[in-house]
Structure 1
Amino acid sequence: MKNKSTITILIVLAFILIFNSVSVFAWTPEEDLSATSAILMDTTRGQVLYEKGADAINPPSIMCKLMAALITIEKSQLNSMVTVSKNTAKINGSSLNLVVGNLYSVEDLLYGIILSQGNDAAIALAEYVGNGSIDKFVGYMNDKAKELNLTDTFFVNPTGLHDDKQFTSARDIAKLVKFAISNPTFNSLFGSKGVAWINGKNSSILTNQNKLFWSYSGVDGGKVGSTPQQGTTSVTTATRDNRRLIAVVFDETEEKALSQTAQLFDYGFSNFFTGVLVSKNTPLRSITVEDYKVDLISKIDVLYTYPKGDSFIKNISFDINKKLSLPISTDTIAGVLTYTLNDDTVVEVNLYPDKAVTAPEDYRTKIKSIFKENQDLSIIVFILLTIELIIVIYKLIILIIKVLKRTKT
C-alpha cells in the first residue's frame, strides 16, 4: 500500500512538473495575421497596441463614408430634409435606390452611408451640405483631414468610388474614428445595428454590414466596405471593462478581415490594461517660491494603457513655470510633468499648487488689512479723530488770536 501511494504521489508530481514546464500558448498577431494592413488603437489617448503596415497607402472606400458622415453631422441638422437630384440617382456602385425628387432626412441618409455602402446617399448629403457643390463638400473633407493631422489621406469624392488621386491608411482611419466617436451623434450612428428604412412606398430594415455586432461580445461600433481594388476593409470598435479599442483591417475577403479583427480585440483586451498614470490631488512635486514650499498636484486622474506586468514608462521630466511669484492661486499652472511611454506616447500633466500661497505682509499691508476687516469701526474712529483734530485746530487758533492781542497791547 505504501509503495502504491508513493508511486501515485510521484506520478502526480511528475504531471505537475510537466505542466509547469510547458508555457501557456498566447496568440500574438505577428504569428498569423494575414492582413495587408491593420492597426489596433486604444481610444483613451490613441495609443497603438498593434500595427502592421498601418501607414501603407490604400483606397479610401470606408474612409470617404466615415468622413462624409462626420462633416454632415458637424454642418447640418439631423431633421433637415434633402431633395434627391438626378445627379444623385445616377451614381455608380452600391446604392439605396433613392427616388429623384423625394425628400429624405439627413439622419436617414446618414444611416444609409454608415450601415450600408449608400453611394447615392453620400452624394445627396454632399450636394446638400455643399450647397449644390460636391467639390465644396470634398473640400470640407480635406480640410478636416488636415485639422486631424491625417497625413496619409486625400479625398476626391464622398463615395469612395475608385480614383487614383485619393487614398488613406489604416492609421488615419483609426485616428478619424477616435475623434469622431467623441461626437455623440456620430457615435450613435456608428454603433447602430439596424434601422427601419422607408423609401417611397417601400419599407425595409437597413442592417449594419459589420457582422461582428452579432458574433463578438462588446462590439459597439462598426462598418465594412469592399471594392475590387482593395478587397474588404473592416472598421470596428469594442468595449470591455470600460476600455474601448479600435481595429482597422484591410484584407482580401470579408471573412478574413472580420476574423482577424476579433483576434486583434482578443489580443488587446487580454494583454493590455488601462490604469491611472497620475492620481488627482496627490503631491507629485514640491517647489520653492520666494522661500515658501509649495506641493504640486494634478486636478484629474490621468489614465494610460500599458501591457500586463509592465509600467510602460520610459522617461519622466518636469518643467517648472519660471514666471511664478507670490501670490499663487490653486488655478495657477506651476509646472508640467511629462511622461514618455515605451511606445513614445507623450503624456503632459499640468500641476497646480495644492493650496493658495499669499505674499508676506509688510506693516502698511497689515494696516490696510486691519482697516478693511473692521471697515465700520474704522469709519467711526476716522470721524472721531477728524472731530478731535478740528477741535484742536480751533483751540489752537483761539490761542494764537489771544497771543496776538496781548502783543499789540
Structure 2
Amino acid sequence: MKKSVIFIVLWLFLISCSTSFKAYAKDPPPSVSADSAVLLDATTGEILFSKNPDTAYPPASTTKIMTALLVLEKTNLDNEVTIGSNPPKIDGTRLGLIEGEKLKVRDLLYGLLLASDNDCAMALAEYVGNGSVNKFVDEMNKKALELGALHTHFVNPSGLFDKNHNISAKDLSLIMKELSKNSNYSKIASTVSYTIKPTNKSKNERVVWNENRLIQKQSHYYYEGCIGGKTGYTIQSLHSYVATAIRGNHQLIVALVHDKNKTFFPDAISLFNYGYNNFKFEKLYSKGDIIANYNKNNLSVPLIAASDFYYDREIGDNSTPTFKLKDNNLNLKSFKKGDTVDEAEFSLNGKNVGNLQLLSGVNNSSSSIYTGNQNKISHLNMQYLVLASIIILIIISAFLIKKNKISNE
C-alpha cells in the first residue's frame, strides 16, 4: 500500500513538473472565412500562414492598391490632373468628379484609398496612362509579374467585377509589401479623414473617410500598429481585405480574398496576433558581415553579406538557420572588391527561410585566374616537353645510325 501511494505521488509530481516547466505552447493557426488567405512577413517574404494562397478570385476594390502603387511610382503628389469625360460616368462608389475639374494627384489618392472612389481610380489611370486606361492596365499586369504575382490578371484600375479580373491572396500580399515601402502610402492610408478643398468646378469641400476600421481608434476593430489597409466588395466578388501592421521592427501583411461571411476585420486581427505571438523576427547577419570564406585552388575570398539578413522562427524554437553556397567557381571569374560573387541559401528545420547575396572582400584580376591550375598545367607541359625531346633524340639517333650504316656499305 505504501509503495502504491509513493508511486502515485511521484507520478503526479512528474506530471506537474512537465506541465509547469514546458518551454512554450504554440497557438494553433486561426480559422478564417476567406477562400484565399495569407499572412506574410514583409521583410523576409516568408509566409507564416496560408489557405489556398495561389487560388485567384475577383478582388473588388483591393485592386486599388496596385493602382496606388503605380501612381506613387510614376507621379508627383502635387501634379495637377484635369478630369476627362469618362471618370464621372463610372459605376460604383464615386467622389463626384466633374469633367474639366482640376485636382491634385494627392486629392485623388485620398479618394482612392480612403473612400474607395472608382472615379478617382479612373482619373488617375487616365493621367498616368496618358489618356489610356488600357495602357495603365497593361502597366498593372506588368508590375504584378515583376513582383512575382503570378496568379493575377487585372482588367481595370478600380476592381469593378469582370470574370477575367482576378488575384490570389499571396499576390495581393506581395503588392502590399511593395506599396508599404512608400512613406506617402502609409501617411495616406493611416489617415482617418481627408478634406478636398473647393476646385474650379466645385464650390464645396468634399470629405472622404477611411473605411479601414483597423486604423480607427474609436472602432472595436482598432489594431495598434496598423499602417494601412484596403477593403473591397462587389456582389459577385464578395469581400476582400488587405492590411499591414508593424510591431517594433516586425512588419506583417494580411491578405484575405473572397470572403462570403464578411469577417475580414476580426480575421485579420486574429492573423496579426497569430504572427506576433508565435513567431520571432531575428537578425542573423548585418550588412558587411563576413559569413564565409571561399578557398579553392590558391584563391581565398571573404564572402560578405550584401544586406541585413532576417528570418522568422517559432517562439520557443532556439535552432539557428544553416546555409549552403551556390558554390560558383570563383577561380573562373574576374571581379572587384564589392562585386556580387555568390549567394547563400538559408534553411531552418528543413525549410528555406531566405537567400542572401554575397559580395567579394577582395579583387580577383584576370591575371590571377587559374592560378592554381596554371601550376598544374606548367608541370604537365614540362613533362610533355621532356617526352617530346626524348622522342626527337631517338628519331635523330636512329637516322644517324642508318646513315652511318649506308656510308659503310
Same-fold call, TM cutoff 0.5 = yes
TM-aligned CA distance change 1:128 to 1:23, over 3 Å = same
| Distance in 2 separating the partners of 1:90 and 1:194 | 25
State which of 294, 301, 309 in structure 2 corresponds to 1:302: 309
| One-letter identity of the residue aligned with 2:54 | D
Q: Deviations over 1:377-400 (max 9, x none)?
A: xxxxxxxxxxxxxxxxxxxxxxxx
TM-aligned CA distance change 1:291 to 1:14, over 3 Å = closer
Task: Please name the residue that 1:322 is paired with.
Answer: 330
Shift of 1:329: 5.7
TM-aligned CA distance change 1:270 to 1:83, over 3 Å = same
State which of 345, 349, 353 in structure 1 corresponds to 2:357: 349
Task: Please name the residue that 1:50 is paired with.
Answer: 49
| Distance in 1 separating the partners of 2:333 and 2:158 | 57
1:337 paired with 2:336, answer: no
| Distance in 2 separating the partners of 1:135 and 1:281 | 45
| Distance in 2 separating the partners of 1:132 and 1:356 | 51
| Distance in 1 separating the partners of 2:225 and 2:331 | 49
| Distance in 1 separating the partners of 2:345 and 2:14 | 51
Preserved CA contact (<8 Å) 1:289 1:324? no
Matches within 5 A, 1:40-79: 40-79=39-78
Q: What is the count of residue pairs matched by the alignment?
A: 346
State which of 254, 259, 278 in structure 1 corresponds to 2:266: 259
Shift of 1:81: 1.8
Task: Please name the residue that 1:386 is paired with.
Answer: none
Preserved CA contact (<8 Å) 2:305 2:356? no
Q: Which sits farther off after the overlay, 68-77 or 209-218? A: 68-77
CA RMSD of aligned residues (A): 3.2
Q: Deviations over 1:101-153 (max 9, x none)?
A: 22111110011111112001111112222222221221221221222232111
| Distance in 1 separating the partners of 2:141 and 2:204 | 36
| Distance in 1 separating the partners of 2:296 and 2:333 | 7
Where 1:344 maps in the other structure, the secondary structure is strand
Task: Please name the residue that 1:112 is paired with.
Answer: 111
| Distance in 2 separating the partners of 1:315 and 1:242 | 24
1:228 paired with 2:235, answer: yes
Percent sequence identity over aligned pairs:
33
Preserved CA contact (<8 Å) 1:299 1:352? no
Preserved CA contact (<8 Å) 1:196 1:204? yes
Shift of 1:172: 0.6
Matches within 5 A, 1:254-403: 254=262, 256-280=263-287, 282-288=289-295, 291=298, 294-298=301-305, 300-308=307-315, 309-311=317-319, 313=321, 316-323=324-331, 330-333=337-340, 335-341=342-348, 342-353=350-361
TM-aligned CA distance change 1:292 to 1:88, over 3 Å = closer
Preserved CA contact (<8 Å) 2:44 2:311? yes
TM-score, L = length of structure 1: 0.74
| Distance in 2 separating the partners of 1:88 and 1:332 | 49
Shift of 1:245: 0.4
Q: Deviations over 1:241-288 (max 9, x none)?
A: 21110001232244x100010000001011112212234555433344
Task: Please name the residue that 2:207 is paired with.
Answer: 205
Shift of 1:90: 1.6
Task: Please name the residue that 1:83 is paired with.
Answer: 82
Task: Please name the residue that 1:144 is paired with.
Answer: 143
Where 1:74 maps in the other structure, the secondary structure is helix
Q: Which sits farther off after the overlay, 200-209 or 159-168? A: 200-209
| Distance in 2 separating the partners of 1:335 and 1:167 | 37
